[in-house]
Amino acid sequence: MAKAISNIERTIPSPEEEKQQAIQLVLDAVSENHQALLTLLDIVKELQAIGVLDILQGALKNRHEIGVIAVSQFNKPGMHHIMKNGMNLMQFMGKLPPDKLQNILNAVDSGIDRLTDTENEKPMGLFGMSKAMMEPNVILALGSMINFLRGMGEGMKSTEKQVH
């Protein structure tokens, strides 16, 4: 028959043993993750070389002064409008399909190239404008602009109904 346990002896490690266990845990973690640590050290070395760590250190040491400046900038009268407009712009950009936006931006880029083309510097007369109205590219662009204006008008009308 087993004897009842009446006395439990706890072994409390000494501070030196705790320190040795902590060092061993760190060494085990380093040996298991040595490649990640080497990559991290390389990144830190590059950040130090380009001065990013100095900037971060200065920002951390002066965080109170930087915070005071930031708060004073945020409390300027127009800043609230800028922040709200920025949020509205981000929401608007989130609604746009990327492929359609890319097509529009490419078209705008082509238009700007044509606008800045220095070969066609002679002024266009009334006859030249009416002749240009028959070109397929001009017809396409004008049709797109009219559709844009129609959609914009519809949006303005629906906004009026919601506001009033």
Tens-place pLDDT, residues 38-83: 999 999 999 999 999 999 999 999 999 999 998 888 888 888 889 8
| Rounded mean pLDDT, 94-111 | 90
Question: What letter represents residue 7's amino acid?
Answer: N
- What percent of the chain stands above pLDDT 90? 54
Are the C-beta atoms of residues 152 and 144 closer than 8 Å to each other? no
Q: Given this model, what pLDDT does residue 163 score?
A: 54
Q: Is 47 exposed, middle or buried (0-12, 13-18, 19+ CB in 10 A)?
A: middle
Q: Given this model, what pLDDT does residue 12 score?
A: 85
d(CA 34, CA 5): 46
Number of C-beta neighbours around residue 160 at 10 A:
9
Q: Which pLDDT band holds residue 118 (cuts at 50, 70, 90)?
A: low
pLDDT at residue 4 tops 90? no
Q: Given this model, what pLDDT does residue 56 score?
A: 94
Taking the model in full, what pTM does it have? 0.47
Q: Which residues, other chains included, contact 139 with Cβ-Cβ below 8 Å and sequence gap of 6+?
A: 133
Are the C-beta atoms of residues 133 and 139 closer than 8 Å to each other? yes
Residues 152-163: tens digit of each pLDDT: 999 888 877 665
Are the C-beta atoms of residues 78 and 84 closer than 8 Å to each other? no
d(CA 14, CA 22): 12
